[in-house]
Amino acid sequence: MPRSSKEIVKIQDVHKAYGKEDVLKGISMEVTEGEVVILVGPSGTGKSTLLRCINQLTVPDSGHVWVNGIELTDPSTDIDKARQHIGMVFQDFNLFNHLSALDNVMLGLTQVLKMDVEKAREKAMHELDRVGLCNKFMNYPGQLSGGQKQRVAIARSLAMEPIVMLFDEPTSALDPELIGEVLVVMKDLALGGMTMICVTHEIGFARDVSTRIVFMEHGDIVEEGSPKKMLNHPDLQRTKQFLGKISELH
C-alpha cells in the first residue's frame, strides 16, 4: 500500500455538548493519506458525533477541523463544496427512497458536479459495478436488501471521488449474513489506498486492513495504536477489556 505522510484530516481540540452532556471533550486526531482508522468504544461515547464533526453535519462547539488543508470550521469556508470530497456512509443507509439505485448515485454528479446526464450515467454505472450491483441499477431502495442498499450508498459516495471516506457503523443495521458483502467492498477500498475513518465493531476488518485503532470512551480518546498492539497487548487494562469483549462477539 502506498503510504505518504500527507495529512488528509486534522482534528484539533473539538468539543461538542448536547445540553448538559459533553459528548466530545476536546478530541485531537490526525489522519494521513491511505490510513484506515477504526474508531471503537462503547455506544454513546461520541464516535458518530466525531465523524459528523469532520464533515460538519454536526457543527462542533469549539475546536478546528481541516480536511485536505481546508479548515471546515472556518465560517468563510464553502461547506457544500468541501463536503463533495468527503464521502459518508450511514448506519441506516439513507438512500434517497424516491430514486432508483442509478439515480441515487447520479444525483450528486448531475446536481453538485454539474456533469451532463450521459456522462453521469456512465460514471454511476461504473461505481455500481465496482460494488457489484450494476444489474440492480433500476431498483428502488425498497427493492434492495440491506447489504445491497449499503453498497449503493457506498457507490453514491465513491462517485463523488472523495479524498476520505467516513463510515458510521456501516454494518450495524445489517443481518449477519449480509455483513460480509459490505465488508468486502470496504476492504477493496482500503487496499486500493482510500483514506478511511470507520466507526465499527467489526474487529476482523480492523485486524485485516486498518492501520490504527482508536479506542474512545466518554468523549475522550482513551488509547490508540496499531491493530496489532491494540488487539494483542494494549497499554491500558480498559482497552484490553473492551476489545477483548468485542473480539469474542465478532
CB of 16 to other proteins, least distance (A): 16
CB of 41 to other proteins, least distance (A): 22
Ordered strands of the 21-32 beta sheet = 21-32, 7-18, 62-67, 70-71
Nearer to other proteins, 153 or 243 (CB): 153
CB of 58 to other proteins, least distance (A): 10
Report phi then psi at 175, rounded to 5. -60, 145
Q: At which residue does the C-alpha cell 445540553 appear?
A: 19
- DSSP-based three-state secondary structure for 17: strand
CB of 119 to other proteins, least distance (A): 17
Nearer to other proteins, 13 or 175 (CB): 175
Contact 159, 109 (CB under 8 A): yes
Nearer to other proteins, 157 or 210 (CB): 157
- Binding-site ranges for other proteins (CB under 8 A): 55, 57, 80-81, 83-88, 90, 92, 94-98, 107-108, 111-112, 140-143, 153, 156-157, 160
b/e code 20-39 from CB counts within 10 Å (16+ = b): eebbbeebebebbbbbbbbb
CB of 156 to other proteins, least distance (A): 7
Nearer to other proteins, 92 or 235 (CB): 92
Cα–Cα distance, 69 to 20 (Å, whole number): 32
Report phi then psi at 95, rounded to 5. -70, 150
Nearer to other proteins, 45 or 157 (CB): 157
